[in-house]
């Protein structure tokens, strides 16, 4: 049912037919990357955290990142506490491996992490463990009704700098 909710969500932009459904699992970042044929960093993973009032907040990050607890605390003014699998389903309507910021069961705050700004397009899940859609960052921002961009992750900055140096595009402002 979750995939159907996401398809219905995308109908308002005429993008429901752009959702890719796979015969194999795309439930982990690596599985999604292998299935789609992209590097893991381009998989937009949606992480579910407990908010101040026990309402979930969603942070969509690049697939090669980890949450930096200090950055998270500085941004949201409380400790990063991930939801349990049951809480994720209750709050989002999606199972782990298919969690996305679309077609949600509840109105939740959604944030995009700057780690994704390295890419023109990313691939978030679409409510099931075997689906995804390719979106530009502007589309992701619009379709997910994002509150704002945040900087909450670690593990990607070194890779970003190495890539920038290798290509001659040393732009550390993103």
CATH value at residue 92: 3.90.960.10
Is 130 inside a domain boundary? Answer: yes
Report the pLDDT value the prediction gives residue 70, as an integer from 0 to 100.
96
If one counts the domains in the chain, the total is: 1
Residue 32 near residue 123, CB atoms below 8 Å: yes
Give per-residue pLDDT as tens, 67-95: 999 999 999 999 999 999 999 999 999 99
pLDDT > 70 in the chain, percent: 90
Domain interval for residue 69: 2-167
Report the pLDDT value the prediction gives residue 166, as an integer from 0 to 100.
56
Is 73 inside a domain boundary? Answer: yes
Is 108 inside a domain boundary? Answer: yes
Is 161 inside a domain boundary? Answer: yes
> Which DSSP symbol is given to 107?
-
Rg (CA), the chain: 15
Q: Is the pLDDT of residue 165 over 70?
A: no
Cβ within 8 Å of residue 158, ≥6 positions away: none
Query: What pLDDT band is residue 52 in, cutting at 50, 70 and 90?
Result: confident
Q: Is the pLDDT of residue 53 over 90?
A: no
Is 172 inside a domain boundary? Answer: no
Is 174 inside a domain boundary? Answer: no
Report the pLDDT value the prediction gives residue 169, as an integer from 0 to 100.
46
pLDDT average, residue stretch 155-174: 53
Query: What pLDDT band is residue 55 in, cutting at 50, 70 and 90?
Result: confident
Residue 132 near residue 61, CB atoms below 8 Å: no
Q: Is the pLDDT of residue 157 over 90?
A: no
Return the minimum-mean-pLDDT range out of 40-54, 112-126, 149-163: 149-163
Neighbours of 106 (CB within 10 A): 10
Is 173 inside a domain boundary? Answer: no
Query: What pLDDT band is residue 163 in, cutting at 50, 70 and 90?
Result: low
Residue 47 near residue 133, CB atoms below 8 Å: no
pLDDT average, residue stretch 34-56: 93
| Burial class of residue 138, CB neighbours in 10 A (0-12, 13-18, 19+) | exposed
């Amino acid at each position: 049912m979750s995939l159907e909710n996401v398809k219905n969500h995308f109908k308002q932009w005429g993008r429901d037919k752009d959702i890719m459904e796979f015969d194999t699992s795309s439930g982990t970042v690596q599985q999604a990357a292998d299935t789609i044929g992209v590097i893991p960093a381009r998989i937009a993973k949606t992480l579910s955290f407990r908010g101040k009032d026990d309402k979930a907040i969603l942070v969509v990050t690049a697939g090669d990142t980890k949450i930096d607890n200090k950055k998270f605390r500085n941004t949201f003014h409380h400790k990063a506490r991930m939801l349990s699998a049951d809480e994720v389903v209750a709050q989002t309507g999606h199972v782990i491996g298919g969690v996305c910021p679309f077609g949600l069961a509840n109105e939740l705050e959604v944030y995009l992490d700057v780690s994704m700004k390295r890419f023109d397009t990313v691939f978030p899940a679409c409510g099931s463990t075997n689906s995804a859609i390719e979106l530009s960052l502007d589309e992701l921002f619009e379709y997910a009704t994002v509150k704002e961009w945040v900087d909450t992750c670690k593990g990607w900055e070194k890779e970003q700098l190495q890539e920038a140096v290798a290509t001659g595009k040393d732009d550390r402002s993103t």
